[in-house]
Amino acid sequence: MGHQYSTEDKVNLFADYLESSFQENPKPYDDDFIEHMEAKVENFMHRNARRHTAPLTSPQEMMDIILNSPNKKAPGKDGIKNIALKSLPLNAITSTPRKFSSRSL
């Protein structure tokens, strides 16, 4: 049988781990280097921002795609079979495009 630790031992071990993991970097830091890296990240994000997005799929288009998909076709990367998609209630299908449109891309 393995070691048995009390709740207090576990809490203290976890606290020690967190304390050692989340410590401020020792001084002196290089503020110029930090600013340089922040500028590089900001430039990268600006250059790679999505400026144009494709139009969203309408609920009717979603229903047409699902209903016209063959039942026996292999599932996609998500592992969901077409027969399962066809079993979804109507409100689940019609609310899906709204979920994506409310997310910031």
- Tens of pLDDT, residue by residue over 33-52, are 989 999 999 998 888 777 66
Task: Compute the distance between CA of residue 29 and CA of residue 16 in angstroms, rounded to an integer.
Answer: 25
The pLDDT confidence band at residue 13, using thresholds 50, 70 and 90, is: very high
**Cβ atoms of residues 59 and 97 within 8 Å:** yes
**What pLDDT is recorded for position 105?**
42
Which two structure tokens, joined as six digits, stand for 9?
């031992």
Between 18-22, 25-29, 74-78, the lowest mean confidence (pLDDT) is in 25-29
The pLDDT confidence band at residue 99, using thresholds 50, 70 and 90, is: low
**Threshold 0.75, pTM exceeds:** no
